[in-house]
Amino acid sequence: MRRREFVTLLGGATAWPLAARAQQAKWPTIGVLGASTPLNWNPWTAAFVQRLRELGWIEGRTVAIEYRWAEGRHERYSEIATEFVRLKVDVILTAGGAVPAAKQATSTIPIVFAIAVDPVGSGLVASLARPGGNVTGSSIQSVEVAGKRVEILHELLPDLRRMAIMGNVDYDGAVREIGEVQAAAAKLGLNVDVLKIRHARDVVPAFETLKSGTQALYVCPDALVNANHARINTLALGSRLATMHGVRDYLGAGGLMSYGASTTDLFRRAGDLVDKILKGAKPADLPVEQPTKFDLVINLVTARALGLTVPPTLLARADEVIE
């Protein structure tokens, strides 16, 4: 090979990675603030990434995605949000209790929440129709369906007299939901005890405070519960408690029932919102979406382990039965 040809080839080989890096620098970047763990969020982030792909945003080719995980520790939310501001990401995707931290960290970078409880009441948006500011997403209406979950528990256990509620009292959404559950239970004449948790280390001691005669456990969904739902279900099963969750994905390791919107679907829909923002839309002009369908899922394996017979009428209404 002639020397001039060799130098040309060598120069091209050197220039190509530089060109590739220059191209990558032009890609928009999405910062995913995962409130829980990669494992527990995997079905949801996979749905989000798949929807982006369908819309032409391919990770590593047309868009960059930076993942950070708080692992259910609320003190990490602000740290991660601040890091994303420093990285100058183009949009932040997050959920639940991490949304306020992201909003506090930036008023300019668009924020999309795949899940939020009462975003208007919590001050995340001005209204569902016109969010205003830099935040939009999907509201799971968890507080509003709390009463329905209590009714389903009572239908399963007609002799239900005492139930417990477990919730992260450092999360405003869980606090509001606890109040709704207490109100719904009072209408049915049920005795209710609240098991307050703030950290993973609080889960086991909370179960140790259960009063004699407790028959069911209502679990308020949030990132802390997401990271610890398997432990919660295992302890509840050992205590012979029928569990009600707001998220189908929390039924692993012995959860009994869930009633709520599909979280996987909400993350897919978040992909649509991120797509619109990357194409120039403003979060202020994108209405907060609300789920139109709530799924009832019953785990018959757990029901048998608890010695429970699920009424045929309840089974007939179930959208999914785990056998």
Domain ranges of the chain: 3-140+263-285, 146-260+294-322
Domain 146-260+294-322 fold is Rossmann fold (3.40.50)
Helix or strand holding residue 320 (H, E): strand 320-322
Give me the pLDDT at residue 141, please: 66
Q: Block means of pLDDT (10 residues each) for the chain, length 323 residues? A: 42 42 70 93 96 97 96 92 97 94 96 91 90 93 82 96 97 91 96 96 96 96 92 96 94 92 93 98 95 92 96 96 94
Q: How large is the greatest C-alpha to C-alpha distance in the chain, in angstroms?
A: 92
Angle at 62 between CA 59 and CA 64, to 5 degrees: 50
Asked if residues 114 and 91 have their Cβ atoms less than 8 Å apart, the reply is: no
| Per-residue pLDDT at 23 | 46
CATH class, domain 3-140+263-285, is: alpha beta
Helix 75-87 vs helix 98-105: crossing angle, to nearest 10:
40
Distance CA 184, CA 169 (A): 19
pLDDT at 9: 42
Q: What is the pTM of this model?
A: 0.82
Q: What is the pLDDT of residue 10?
A: 41
Tokens of 178: 């606890």
The reported pLDDT for the residue numbered 69 is 97
Q: Decide if 3-140+263-285 and 146-260+294-322 have a common fold.
A: yes
Q: Residue 143: its pLDDT value, please? A: 64
Q: What is the pLDDT of residue 292?
A: 79
- Strand segments (E) across 177-246: 191-197, 216-219, 242-245
For residue 251, the number of C-alpha atoms closer than 13 Å in the C-beta half-sphere is 22
Burial of 266-278, coded b for 16+ CB within 10 Å and e otherwise, reads bbbbbbbbbbbbb
Classify 6 as helix, strand or coil: helix
